[in-house]
Chain A
Amino acid sequence: MTTSTIDLTLPYKTRVQDALGNKHLRTALDRSTGRMAGQRVAAMTAVDGQLLRDQVRQMKEHVIRNLPDLLEELERTITANGGHVHWAKEGVDVQRLVVEIARKANVQKVVKAKSMATEEVHLNQALQSAGMKVVETDLGEYIIQLAGEPPSHIVAPVIHRRVEEIAEVFQRELDMPPTLDPQVICSVARGALRKEFLSADMGISGCNFAIAETGTCCIVTNEGNGRMSSTLPRVYVVVMGIEKLVPTVEDAFLQYQALCRSATGQQCSVYLSMTNGPRRPGDTDGPEEFHVILLDNGRVDMLAKEYGEALCCLRCGACLNVCPVYREIGGHAYGSTYSGPIGAVISPSIHLEVTDVDKLPYASSLCGACREACPAKIDLPRMLLELRRDVVEEGDAPLFDRQSMQAFSFAMGSRGRYEAAGKLGSLGSNVFAGMSGGNIKFMPGPLAAWTSSRDFPPLAKRSFREQWKERQRGRKSIGEGKKEE
């Protein structure tokens, strides 16, 4: 691509600066996030959105509370259907398990439907190192695979690219004639992918939700690539986080409804592919082998700490689309598989190698738009606050922050110190402001981060309390005098 690819391992500061300075990225984000957020609002107000969110939350809380039992039930039902269940404690366990399954079945080529869980554990790289060809088949994922980039959004992986850039990749990689027509671009991709589907030995997908009572793994797609991945190859492997399950078929449709409306603003997706197990005698299609890998990778620890609420997440991406921070910097600046508010919350707990993961809880103005959009009513701002507390308690806060907060707490801890600080501040700031015509245009040290782009007013020459005292002179008041220590 003409624009440089963002390097996720760079320091947080650099990632953010690169993103803010990337005009194309910001145009792409502007075009998409607002539209997706608007579609969600329309779809959620077309039904009783509040009720739906309440029901989803209740159901997910039930799941989290009964996770061990439900997981065992899922294992039983999948096994009864003829599938194989594997437990993966860490990301490397998923890599090892899938490579083993593939080797045993003599797999040369793998087709994949979009899956964040496999991104999380870097499964593609592991399979490629083991000598297999891996092809992403979701259009967005296919594009970024060709471009050599990680996804930058939970449901819209290529949201960071404008159509102009996508066309460029296709011209370069697939010999597409120059065009910006999405129809043409899609048909070129379809032609290329069809061949891959027909010659693949193994299909891999994530799982939007698995139904414990029936052992059914469900994937929600709009392109049909999920169904081709799950039915055409000989072997089908599902990789799912342990929280992605629902107790009953009824619950599955509750989650499905909330997911579609929140993710893309659709009433329902174009495809909902449900796999119960391998091909049975008499079935006309379906895989010969069916494997489900249940991934922990830090999720159990989240439950043990106070971040278990984040396991209610449906991975709908609504919180990304409404996040004013995500809208400015996009997903790659977070440096993690998971970006946006939910990414900032789970990245420190999920076992991912993220450079400057400590900075992510601070990548939020705590405006609360994410919580308002979340179909599972996850209190993301509260968890960001608690994660900040953890960063400080673990001694990882910058020295300047620590010193200034200690000084702040000390100054505000007594009326005398507070008033003295106010007097001093008023004098100093008015001198500064006087030099630049009323407003402060320059502040020293870290405060320059404010004044490099924004003015700051001087403190008042006479504070409210001084004016109040004068006003009350001669008046009797219970607030003044009596409360003095």
Chain B
Amino acid sequence: MTHKKQFDSPPRRVALFVTCMVDMLYPEVGMATVELLERHGVEVVFPAEQTCCGQPAFNSGFWEEARPLARRFVDIFEPLVRQKQVDAVVAPSGSCTTMTSHFYQLLLENEPAYRERAAFLGAATFELTEFLVDVLGVTDVGARFDGRLTYHACCHLLRELGIDRQPRALLDAVEGADLVAMTGADECCGFGGLFAIKNGGISTAMGQRKAQNIAKSDADAVALCDVSCMTHINGLLSREGQRCRAVHIAQVLTNQVDVAARPASDEVAPESKAAPRRWQDDKVKG
């Protein structure tokens, strides 16, 4: 476990580790992250060399294939922190933050130099909500959400990084949001990387249980901190024709989520009412 970097003065500039999934699938989450950081006086730098941290390979046992990506990641981000060009690295993902700040220690066990650099970098790498709440001391970002909102605690975020209070505090402060509890909010949605393919049946069963709990919560949207779990949950909700959608917390905090009127009780729920914008009409936010 790495010890997090302490700041004497408020950080002014951070490097964004956008993660490959956000980059390719959900650019609006990346933009929302930038907006949140800039709004609180933090300049954002985007090292364009970044690709993927290597988690899919590491997670499925292909450590040999994951190592070059880990070294590459360290080579890109560590000098920025070491040379004080940025004060920290921020990622809108609990899972990718876990990979780079915890699992690199295991992956690079036999490469002491890289391992030490990865530890140094890991201490300065923060998940978005952790950075907002613990480092910047912000909980109310001035967001508004008119509807019922629930929270799903992603596994790596909760149990590897121990982050739970921070996203909940941010959601608590969202004006107009009717926060509802969900049964099994801290239970895995069944994604698990390649697990979702290799053990598709089990993964689906877990996801269906999650989808049931979401339906029971009667929320308009489920906020969470990882787009991987979001993809899985939405994949199920969409297939089942449920109205509710999972959305990244940064989207909620930047008012990116539209909530349409709830259907009258006897009406069949129309699909995708509470979807984030892109999910609905594929409009890209510039």
Closest to A30 in B: B209
A1 interface residue (CB < 8 Å to B): no
Closest to A477 in B: B45
Given A368-B160, A463-B23, verify A328-B235 contact (CB < 8 Å).
no
B-contact 0/1 string along A381-419, CB 8 Å cutoff: 010011111111100010001100110110011110010
Given A409-B54, A446-B197, verify A462-B60 contact (CB < 8 Å).
no
Given A389-B63, A457-B234, verify A412-B52 contact (CB < 8 Å).
yes
Cα–Cα distance between A362 and B69 once the two chains are bound (Å): 22
Cα–Cα distance between A362 and B202 once the two chains are bound (Å): 11
Given A369-B188, A455-B234, A479-B48, verify A405-B57 contact (CB < 8 Å).
yes
A60 interface residue (CB < 8 Å to B): no
Segment with Cβ contacts to B, from A262-270, A272-280, A284-292, A464-472:
A464-472
Segment with Cβ contacts to A, from B123-131, B252-260, B278-286:
B278-286
Inter-chain contacts of B85 with A (CB < 8 A): 478
B-contact 0/1 string along A438-452, CB 8 Å cutoff: 110000001101101
Cα–Cα distance between A390 and B61 once the two chains are bound (Å): 7
Chain B interface, number of residues (Cβ within 8 angstroms): 78
B180 interface residue (CB < 8 Å to A): no
B37 interface residue (CB < 8 Å to A): no
Q: Contacting B195 at CB < 8 Å: which of A20, A364, A368, A412? A: A364
Q: Contacting A329 at CB < 8 Å: which of B64, B202, B204? A: B202
Segment with Cβ contacts to A, from B14-22, B141-149, B165-173:
B14-22
Given A366-B195, A385-B59, A397-B61, verify A16-B106 contact (CB < 8 Å).
no
Query: Are B197's CB and A460's CB within 8 A?
Result: no
Inter-chain contacts of A90 with B (CB < 8 A): none
Query: Are A454's CB and B232's CB within 8 A?
Result: yes
Query: Are A479's CB and B45's CB within 8 A?
Result: yes
Query: Are A412's CB and B54's CB within 8 A?
Result: yes
Inter-chain contacts of B62 with A (CB < 8 A): 392, 397, 401-402, 405-406, 409
**Closest-CB distance, A400 to chain B (whole angstroms):** 10
Cα–Cα distance between A9 and B158 once the two chains are bound (Å): 37
Query: Which bucket holds chain A's interface residue count?
Result: 35 or more
Inter-chain contacts of A457 with B (CB < 8 A): 25, 231, 234, 279
Q: Contacting B56 at CB < 8 Å: which of A402, A408, A454, A466? A: A408
A198 interface residue (CB < 8 Å to B): no
Inter-chain contacts of B58 with A (CB < 8 A): 385
Given A365-B206, A450-B200, verify A455-B238 contact (CB < 8 Å).
yes
A459 interface residue (CB < 8 Å to B): yes
Inter-chain contacts of A361 with B (CB < 8 A): 61
Inter-chain contacts of A402 with B (CB < 8 A): 62
Chain B stretch 24-72: residues in CB contact (< 8 A) with chain A:
24-27, 30-31, 34, 45-49, 51-52, 54, 56-66, 68-69, 72
Query: Are B46's CB and A367's CB within 8 A?
Result: no
**Closest-CB distance, B98 to chain A (whole angstroms):** 10
Cα–Cα distance between A389 and B107 once the two chains are bound (Å): 10
Chain B stretch 55-96: residues in CB contact (< 8 A) with chain A:
56-66, 68-69, 72, 76, 80, 85
Inter-chain contacts of B195 with A (CB < 8 A): 362, 364-366
**Closest-CB distance, A371 to chain B (whole angstroms):** 7
Query: Are B204's CB and A412's CB within 8 A?
Result: no
Inter-chain contacts of A387 with B (CB < 8 A): 61
**Closest-CB distance, B155 to chain A (whole angstroms):** 4
Inter-chain contacts of B122 with A (CB < 8 A): none
Inter-chain contacts of B63 with A (CB < 8 A): 389, 392
Chain B stretch 196-212: residues in CB contact (< 8 A) with chain A:
196-207, 209
Number of contacts between A and B (CB, 8 Å)? Answer: 225
B239 interface residue (CB < 8 Å to A): yes
A325 interface residue (CB < 8 Å to B): yes
Inter-chain contacts of A409 with B (CB < 8 A): 54, 57, 62, 65-66, 68-69
Closest to B103 in A: A385
**Closest-CB distance, A19 to chain B (whole angstroms):** 9
**Closest-CB distance, A446 to chain B (whole angstroms):** 6
Inter-chain contacts of A418 with B (CB < 8 A): 20, 51-52
B187 interface residue (CB < 8 Å to A): yes
Inter-chain contacts of B57 with A (CB < 8 A): 405, 408-409
Query: Are A367's CB and B282's CB within 8 A?
Result: no
Residue from the set A361, A409, A418, A480 with the largest chain B CB neighbour count within 10 Å: A409
Inter-chain contacts of B23 with A (CB < 8 A): 422, 463-465
Closest to A456 in B: B235
A-contact 0/1 string along B128-162, CB 8 Å cutoff: 00000000000000000000000000011011100
Given A367-B192, A409-B69, A461-B284, verify A468-B46 contact (CB < 8 Å).
yes
Q: Contacting B24 at CB < 8 Å: which of A325, A392, A397, A425? A: A425
Query: Are B48's CB and A484's CB within 8 A?
Result: yes
Cα–Cα distance between A89 and B221 once the two chains are bound (Å): 57
Given A362-B195, A362-B198, verify A454-B235 contact (CB < 8 Å).
yes
A-contact 0/1 string along B267-286, CB 8 Å cutoff: 00000000000110010101
Cα–Cα distance between A430 and B235 once the two chains are bound (Å): 16
Inter-chain contacts of B279 with A (CB < 8 A): 438, 457
B191 interface residue (CB < 8 Å to A): yes
Q: Contacting B155 at CB < 8 Å: which of A368, A392, A425, A483? A: A368
A145 interface residue (CB < 8 Å to B): no
Query: Are A453's CB and B159's CB within 8 A?
Result: no
Query: Are B49's CB and A485's CB within 8 A?
Result: yes
Closest to A438 in B: B282
A82 interface residue (CB < 8 Å to B): no
Inter-chain contacts of A385 with B (CB < 8 A): 58-59, 61, 103, 106
B236 interface residue (CB < 8 Å to A): yes
Query: Are B46's CB and A465's CB within 8 A?
Result: yes
A372 interface residue (CB < 8 Å to B): yes
Q: Contacting B18 at CB < 8 Å: which of A20, A464, A478? A: A464
Inter-chain contacts of B27 with A (CB < 8 A): 460, 462-464, 466-467
Query: Are A382's CB and B106's CB within 8 A?
Result: yes
Instruction: Return 21 A-B CB contacts under 8 Å, by A number.
Output: A324-B206, A325-B202, A362-B198, A363-B199, A366-B192, A366-B193, A386-B106, A389-B63, A392-B61, A408-B56, A409-B66, A449-B198, A450-B196, A450-B235, A453-B236, A454-B207, A454-B235, A460-B26, A464-B31, A483-B48, A484-B48
The 6 closest A-B pairs by CB, nearest first: A365-B192, A388-B61, A454-B235, A449-B200, A479-B45, A368-B159
